Amino acid sequence: MEISEEKWVPRALRWAMIFWPGLAVAWESGSFRALGITLVFALAVQTAWVGTFVWPALFRDWETSLLWWSIALAVLGSVIYQTCCIAWASQSDAGRCSNLALQEAQAYYLQGSFFEAEQLLTPYVSQGEWDVEAALWLASIYRRTGRFEAATMVLQTIETLERASLWAAEISQEHRKIRESRRNKRIESI
C-alpha cells in the first residue's frame, strides 16, 4: 500500500515540530505558554545565527558556544518531553473511544440497530478507565431496549468518575428519561 504525499507530509511535519520547543503544543492546543516558549526559542536561534555568521563580533567565543549549546539542550529537552507526552497520551487514550467509533455507533443508534451500536461501545466501558461519552450512549441504548437496570448501573458507575462533573446535565437527563420510560412501560402493561 502506497502512502500518499498528503498523508505523509503532516506526519513528517508533526515529527519536525518535536525538535522546536513548544511548537507542537502551540500548534495543536493553542497554548499561549507554548507560543511564548516557541517565540523565545526562535529569538535564541536568530540571535545565535546572527552572532555566529552575520556579525561575529557581537559575542565573545564562549558566549556564542554557550548560546549554541543552550539551543542544543533545548532541542534535546523538547524531543524528550514530546516523546514522553506522546507515550503518555497514547497510554491514557487506550480506554477512550475514538471519534470514528462514536460516529459509527451513533449511525447504528439512529438507524435503530441497537445491537451493533452496543457491540461497538461495550469494549470502551468494560475496561478500567471508562469513556464517559461511550458509556452515556450505552446507557441510552440500554434504555431504548428496555434494560433499565443496566442503564441505571452504567449511569451510577459514570457518576463515580472524576470526569462525570463535565457530563452532569447529560447524566441527569438520562436518569430522567429512564424514569419516564419505566413509568410508560408500567402504564402500557396495565
In whole angstroms, give the CA distance from residue 177 to residue 140.
9
In whole angstroms, give the CA distance from residue 76 to residue 21.
9
CA 74 to mean position of chain CA atoms: 26
Query: Would you give the end-to-end CA distance of the chain in angstroms?
Result: 61
- What CATH architecture does domain 99-189 belong to? Alpha Horseshoe (1.25)
In whole angstroms, give the CA distance from residue 167 to residue 188.
31
In whole angstroms, give the CA distance from residue 105 to residue 144.
14
Q: Give the model confidence (pLDDT) of 149-173 as tens digits.
A: 999 999 998 888 877 888 889 999 9
The pLDDT of residue 77 is 92
Q: Give the model confidence (pLDDT) of 2-59 as tens digits.
A: 444 444 547 777 778 889 998 888 887 778 898 999 999 999 999 999 999 999 998 9
The pLDDT of residue 3 is 42
| CB neighbour class for 96 (10 Å; exposed up to 12, middle 13-18, buried from 19) | middle
In whole angstroms, give the CA distance from residue 52 to residue 2.
43
Which cell numbers hold the place of 150? 443496566
Q: Give the model confidence (pLDDT) of 73-126 as tens digits.
A: 999 999 998 888 777 766 555 555 667 778 888 889 999 999 999 998 888 777
In whole angstroms, give the CA distance from residue 101 to residue 95.
12
Q: Where are the domains of the chain?
A: 5-92, 99-189
DSSP annotation string for 55-104: -GGGS-HHHHHHHHHHHHHHHHHHHHHHHHHHHHHHHHTTTSPPHHHHHH
In whole angstroms, give the CA distance from residue 68 to residue 49.
9
